[in-house]
Structure 1
């Protein structure tokens, strides 16, 4: 008989709420029992308790963990300035963690969480839905079997709405950094520039970011990453330059064609069998890709594939039971944050930077302090 895991939910109404409904993911997940919810906002706490049928409620998440002793803690708020203390508390008190992305504000914080996971033999998984998508496995197989020939380049863009630039890099770019890692491996270097109205940003341009992101600067980001095998990955975002339909997503370019993958638990994937990458010249057409293959109908249609968190939670439970790492684990979370910080550090120093970064604090905060 499958084990049932006791789950404690942490939200913060008005300061990141419950993220992209991480709480409801556990409500729907098999083999999970929500035993308590914590929220510093009392009205939000009452609403969450009703929504989740939670038997116990707390305004203090530490008290919840200490009294109820859940096996898994879900850290739901989107605002990342709270993530580190919430995750550290859960890990120190012996709980596995499922948390909203990005993991933390600084690399020093992620180093602490990695060490705690290792010391306590605990698992931490991040809510990157595409990392758990069976469509991602299909894309990985297409690359490895040579469907697009020799892998040459990754190209990604954020949503480029009012958050375009550094905020877009944090909020949406975080998903894309995780896809770079899943499909291309860990980068070796980063060379980036952040600009404001077309000019390189300076320390005086740094301002407090929205939603607890920490310091931000500029209205555009252009970044390149050196991936294994001589492949280059790029991320670009310009404020208020969004497309309709959105350009948000990743294109994987090879010597024989292109794969495009968007973000989601059943990510939309298209394939272009065109060595010239130009349908206007070749007459080739983009074809939809399912887990069954190019141009074939999707066989995976039940509810768990439509939910943003069910596949991730199932992977976390399997990782706990089988003593393996979750797919989007604490190490991958640190690497995706390192890529974001690599953009900031390269901008601060005005030159390429290599990984791992020597500076484990927030590069823009260091720049501002030293100016």
Structure 2
């Protein structure tokens, strides 16, 4: 039997967890609940005094705490935004939040520095009936929504291939896949469902990567390798996905960060931006 999530009517009590100097509040997750109807942002937690004060100013939170555990114990929260980018904190914060009786969590990506940590986090949420969502806001951008509509209506014919590219900047390779690829892989799932297999070619300085090339990612992101990754994913109905992230000669950047969705009747291309146009090809 699946977990039954309770419906809730009234005002949701929301809190925010950040850590200034160690991932801060991610990409603006402290503002995730600000201004939403039926949501009251009651508290912010941040061990850094100055950062905590600034977050209160940005969010209008009624109270603040140096320790997120104290906030969870005192505030009877319904919703919590977990903001720090640094992955070494995600497991402890997520499990403590799930066990505190909240209804839902909105968290910064990536999930965790290892698959084992991610499994423990999701298990804690399942055990306590907590819904958790990660900051893959690209799904809500206009271009991506239009692509999904074209797929559903059949205007692209049968979906065949999804190609995605990272920013190709100094993070090209394993770091790009970790911090940027998560957005594109989420969009692949959005368009094609879950992948059933994956294989990849990882290189460093033009040669095959080896165990000696494995290193710890920045921001305590776990183990990564390579400065160039080409990965392929297999989805239902023969749909093939690919993700490429190297290091461009011009330094890379947002112009490289794009996706092409290919059907039997055409191709739609767009960039990872809320104001991206869509380019259609026959």
TM-score normalised per structure 1: 0.70
Q: Secondary structure at the match of 1:28?
A: coil
Is the CA contact 1:165–1:237 (under 8 Å) kept in the aligned structure 2? yes
Larger relative contact order, structure 1 or 2 (CA cutoff 8 Å, min sep 6): 1
Q: How does 1:108-257 map to 2 (within 5 A)?
A: 108-133=116-141, 135-241=143-249, 242-243=251-252, 246-257=255-266
Q: Secondary structure at the match of 1:7?
A: strand
Q: How does 1:50-89 map to 2 (within 5 A)?
A: 50-89=57-96
Q: Secondary structure at the match of 1:183?
A: helix
How many Å separate the matches in 2 of 1:50 and 1:249? Answer: 35
1:86-136 CA-partner distances (Å, limit 9, x unpaired): 111100111121111111122222222322222222211111112234543
1:49 shift after superposition: 1.8
Q: Superposition RMSD on alpha carbons, in Å?
A: 1.9
Partner of 2:270: 261
The 3 A distance-change label for structure 1 pair 273 and 246 is closer
Q: How does 1:9-20 map to 2 (within 5 A)?
A: 9-20=16-27
Is the CA contact 2:200–2:229 (under 8 Å) kept in the aligned structure 1? yes
Say which is worse superposed, 82-91 or 118-127, in terms of deviation: 118-127
1:243 shift after superposition: 4.8
1:43 shift after superposition: 1.4
TM-score normalised per structure 2: 0.90
Is the CA contact 2:17–2:82 (under 8 Å) kept in the aligned structure 1? yes
1:144 shift after superposition: 2.6
Q: Any unmatched runs of 5+ in structure 2? A: 1-7
How many Å separate the matches in 2 of 1:134 and 1:218? Answer: 33
Q: Secondary structure at the match of 1:246?
A: helix
Q: Judging by fraction of residues, say which structure has more strand.
A: 2
Q: Any unmatched runs of 5+ in structure 1? A: 275-371
1:261 shift after superposition: 3.0
Q: Secondary structure at the match of 1:167?
A: helix
Is the CA contact 1:129–1:263 (under 8 Å) kept in the aligned structure 2? no
How many Å separate the matches in 1 of 2:279 and 2:266? Answer: 8
1:180 shift after superposition: 0.6
Is the CA contact 1:225–1:233 (under 8 Å) kept in the aligned structure 2? yes
The 3 A distance-change label for structure 1 pair 84 and 223 is same
Partner of 1:312: none
How many Å separate the matches in 2 of 1:30 and 1:149? Answer: 39
The 3 A distance-change label for structure 1 pair 173 and 245 is closer
Say which is worse superposed, 208-217 or 168-177, in terms of deviation: 208-217
